[in-house]
Amino acid sequence: MLPSSTSNSISDQQGLASFAAFVIYNIFFHPLARFPGPLLYRATRFPYSSKLLRGKLPFAMLDLHRKYGPIVRIAPNELSISDPQAWKDICGHRVGAAAGQEENAKWLPFYRPTAMPPSIITEDKEGHAMLRRQLAHGFSESAMRAQEPIIGGYLDLLVRRLREHAVDGDRKDAVTGLPTKRVLDMTAWYNWTTFDIIGDLAFGEAFGSLERAKYDPWVKAINTNFRVQTLVFASKFLGLSDLVLVVARAIGTLIGRKDDHVKRTGDMLRRRMALDVERPDLIEGLLKKKDEWSIDFGRLHMNAAVLIVAGSETTATLLSGVTYMLLKHPEALKRVTEEVRSSFQSDDEITLTSVGNLSYMLACLNEGLRIYPPVAGGLPRITPRGGATILGEFIPGNTVMTIFQWALYHNEKYWTDPFGFHPERFLNDPKFAHDRFDALQPFSFGPRNCIGRNLAYAEMRLILARILFNFDMHLVDGGKDWLDQPAYVLWDKHPLDVYLTPVER
Ligand code: HEM
């Protein structure tokens, strides 16, 4: 029998040899070998995983696309694709030249790195089509009109709570003699607002965050959960068993709390189901025809939870980003504030219909979506077994393909001054005539695009209009670059500290 040190060294050598063979295969013989990219990215998934874990992947993609062009091999089996046409080719409806072609499915190791039931986001084509049909009514124009009073109630509450919190009634400023201003983290306030709204629209009751001016623990856990999912996904490729262990423990502790959350949201959903009236909310479509098609409570619950996550964090992120960009650009802030204040005499004139006329504010929101897309990271798809044609190139089967929004929106090939905040680019300013507006798809594209797009725009316009109408805003730490944040799939947002001065009328 060999001594254990000798057998270890033999197995070490074997391990090394098979790793070397794996690397050589990836670089020279893999079906993606002809695609350009840095050697280390083509050879292994280490550089990708390391950037992903540090929240730097979308930024790294911009550098790679500048150097290698629109198709870059960023892992042995993955291409990053950065071109306006990519949306149609990868995510678009299978019509025209693509008619009859199979869809590029969502890449499940990324979307579901741990065992969890499927939701509308991760369902297969048939399951997705059915859920989408059932949910469509809740997101229709008429449903949104019916939801307006529900949303309006939370916006009244937001303005009231901000007026109460903007100043410290007990302390006076030594110079002005006025009550001392309080620092408000607008990121949190936007989060509380959108979570309360979507809680009501998906479960029939709010989380009570605005009322308490405090994060609900379930909401807080969502962010942690996103990061844990990223860790699990990346650590699998890195083969870091220690890290996986840490992750597993982290999940273990989370699961302890997660059981409470699952029970709580389950109870919320049961209460909503027990309501014996039709309610114009998002979940109604799934409940109404439940008897005609089979959706069990578990799937219903999962989809309600997805509505909460998809429909709140994203909208709050964009509002935080736009607020920051406006505060950094006083000219734009002045113009948008004037637009809002000259359009309305009182809060109740700010409605779904009337905010539709605020064209400069819409341009600010669109520029915000470009500079700070809420879904900054990539959402990978996989080609069908027979391959797919993307940007006129044949891509072999089982290739992972990803569009990184942040990288696509900051490439000077498609945008004039891509890092500058220029709302006028969306108002036909000739300076930006060559911009590729078709590149901008913050809500994704095709049959699996965002079903909540109109609701998101409605919320963003209503919330921003109410804030600008009621408050003057100043950044607390004017010089800090708030946009310098880690980007995973979503952003890991810093607090956005602002002073608010209520406008008296
Ligand atoms: C600025 C705000 C928003 C942004 C940027 C955004 C972005 C996106 C993106 C990029 C996707 C595609 C996900 C994928 O391909 O895997 C998506 C899907 C989805 N979003 Fe949004 N979203 C926003 C607001 C909302 C709102 C308010 C809701 C309301 C509940 C919502 C509900 C959904 C749902 C249910 C899906 C899955 C749709 C499907 O698979 O058919 N989103 N969103």
Q: Report the atom number in ligand 1 closest to the C-alpha of 123.
A: 40
Q: How far apart are CA 470 and CA 464, in angstroms?
A: 10
- Per-residue pLDDT tens digits for 281-290: 888 888 876 5
Whole-number Å distance, alpha carbon 314 to ligand 1 midpoint, is: 8
Q: Is 364 annotated as a binding residue?
A: no
Q: Give one DSSP letter per residue of 326-365, joined into a string.
A: HHH-HHHHHHHHHHHHHH-SSGGG--HHHHTT-HHHHHHH
pLDDT for res 8: 64
pLDDT band at residue 93 under the 50/70/90 scheme: very high
CB 403 within 8 A of CB 378: yes
Spell out the domain ranges in the chain. Answer: 131-332+452-502
Helix axes 57-68, 46-53, angle to 10 degrees: 130
Which CATH number, 3.30.1490.100, 1.20.140.10, 1.10.630.10, 1.10.760.10, labels domain 131-332+452-502? 1.10.630.10
pLDDT band at residue 67 under the 50/70/90 scheme: very high
Q: Is 395 helix (H, G, I), strand (E, B) or coil?
A: strand
- pLDDT greater than 90 at residue 229: no
Average per-residue pLDDT for the chain: 89
CB 302 within 8 A of CB 473: no
Residue 375 CB–ligand 1 contact under 6 Å: yes
Sheet strands side by side (includes 78-81) = 71-75, 78-81, 400-402, 381-382, 105-106
% of residues, the chain, pLDDT over 90: 65
The mean per-residue pLDDT over the stretch 249-273 comes to 71
The encoded tokens of residue 245 equal 């262990």
Choose from 239-243, 293-297, 384-388 the range with maximum mean pLDDT.
384-388
Q: How far apart are CA 48 and CA 234, in angstroms?
A: 8
Q: Give one DSSP letter per residue of 233-245, joined into a string.
A: HHHHHHT-HHHHH
CA geometry: angle at 235 spanning 43 and 116, to 5°? 120
Report the chain's terminal Cα–Cα distance, integer Å: 91
pLDDT band at residue 258 under the 50/70/90 scheme: low
Whole-number Å distance, alpha carbon 9 to ligand 1 midpoint, is: 51
Residue nearest to atom 36 of ligand 1 (CA): 450
- Per-residue pLDDT tens digits for 164-181: 999 877 677 766 777 788
Q: For residue 113, give the H/E element and its range.
A: none
Residue 487's DSSP bridge partners are 491
Residue 461 CB–ligand 1 contact under 6 Å: no
Residue 43 CB–ligand 1 contact under 6 Å: no
Q: How far apart are CA 467 and CA 455, in angstroms?
A: 18
Q: Does residue 142 come out as left (phi exceeding 0), alpha (psi in the -120 to 50 range) or beta?
A: alpha
- pLDDT greater than 70 at residue 249: no
Residue 285 CB–ligand 1 contact under 6 Å: no
- pLDDT greater than 60 at residue 3: no
Q: Based on the number of CB atoms within 10 Å of its own CB, is 42 exposed (0-12), middle (13-18) or buried (19 or more)?
A: buried
Residue 465's DSSP bridge partners are none
Residue 302 CB–ligand 1 contact under 6 Å: no
CB 401 within 8 A of CB 380: yes
25 DSSP 8-state letter: I
